[in-house]
Amino acid sequence: MMESASRLSPSFARPNSRVAIRSAKNYEMDLSALLVETLRELDLPVRGKTVLLKPNFVGPDPSGTINTHPAVVAAARESFLRLGAAKVMVGDGPALERDTEAIAESMRLREYLGPLAASFVDLNLDEVHRVPLRAGASSLRELYLPDTVLGTDLIVSMPKLKTHHWAGVTLSLKNMFGIVPGSCYGWPKNILHWAGITRALLDINSTVRPHFAIVDGIVGMEGNGPIQGMAKPCGVLVLGDDPVAVDATCARMMGLAPERIEHIAQAGLLLGHIREQNIRQFGESITSVRTEFAVLPEFRKLRASA
């Protein structure tokens, strides 16, 4: 894994993070060109690396409102290959639906990626190894994690821009729950809820650090996410080299205060930046793309205006 990404350091000892907000009106446009341009701008070291794209595939999604859209996944794969990546795999371990192929087919993933046997890994069923957890935030101490995840050079967390009925929002940090294999921990991975969502997220993201994040905000989800919310067209892709900063930026775009979202606030202590002055912004400004997301009454306190 990349050395810089495996280090845990307090925010004052870390260089500023870089986050780009790119306008992307729909899934039919040339997303690959947009991503290549942005990845070049952010100067991500990709050449010769093995890359794992970790989208958020929650359940069957024929309407394209729940899961990371396959057009974004395919564009990211093409972009990393164009920039010299040695190999790009796509992998996820859905939390609720065991039949991952049913999810993939329902969202037409094969139309975008080609035959899935060669390009897609079901992380729920991959071979696993025991990994001690680094942050010690939860009572878990260790997890068995997929070999595909442990063996890759560069992990790209690719969530959809959504609210979440347990965690407030589900973005690039929460998306990493999907690397925990169902074959060990079940569907859902209830052990993570019992360990505390925030603490488990800190443990997972400190142990397997996503090196980059690409958020599908072309159409997001508001309200009772991650499955039963309403589609929220936002017309953006958000990219960055610090998943915590990316999530903080997304939260601000959604009209929420990242420092009030427990897992993002806690991640801001050791894993990345959440303060705007520590995030170098590229592309569109937050103000120009900000759009209030509806939230469940439980989460009204997360609003920036609350």
Q: What residue ranges bind other proteins (CB under 8 A)? A: 59, 96-106, 110, 115-117, 120, 122, 125, 128, 130, 144, 165, 183-188, 190-191, 193-194, 224, 227-228, 296, 298
Shortest gap between Cβ of 127 and other proteins (angstroms)?
9
Q: Are 16 and 280 in contact (CB under 8 A)?
A: yes
Residue with tokens 């809820």: 193
Between 119 and 249, name the residue whose CB sits nearer to other proteins: 119
Shortest gap between Cβ of 229 and other proteins (angstroms)?
10
Between 6 and 194, name the residue whose CB sits nearer to other proteins: 194
Q: How far apart are the C-alpha atoms of 10 and 297, rounded to whole Å? A: 33
Between 97 and 259, name the residue whose CB sits nearer to other proteins: 97
Name the burial class of residue 262, with classes exposed (0-12), middle (13-18) and buried (19+) by CB atoms within 10 angstroms of its CB: middle
Q: How many other C-beta atoms lie within 10 A of the C-beta of residue 63?
A: 10
Between 265 and 296, name the residue whose CB sits nearer to other proteins: 296
Q: Where are the alpha helices (DSSP H) in the chain?
A: 31-42, 70-82, 100-106, 109-113, 116-119, 147-150, 182-185, 190-194, 197-207, 243-253, 262-270, 286-289
Between 38 and 119, name the residue whose CB sits nearer to other proteins: 119
Q: Are 121 and 89 in contact (CB under 8 A)?
A: yes
Both tokens of residue 17?
């993070």
- Buried/exposed 87-120: b ≥16 CB within 10 Å, e otherwise: ebbbbbbbbebeebeebbebbebbebbeebeebb
- Stretch (H or E) spanning 23: strand 17-23
Between 150 and 269, name the residue whose CB sits nearer to other proteins: 150
Shortest gap between Cβ of 116 and other proteins (angstroms)?
5
Shortest gap between Cβ of 216 and other proteins (angstroms)?
22
Shortest gap between Cβ of 55 and other proteins (angstroms)?
15
Shortest gap between Cβ of 183 and other proteins (angstroms)?
6
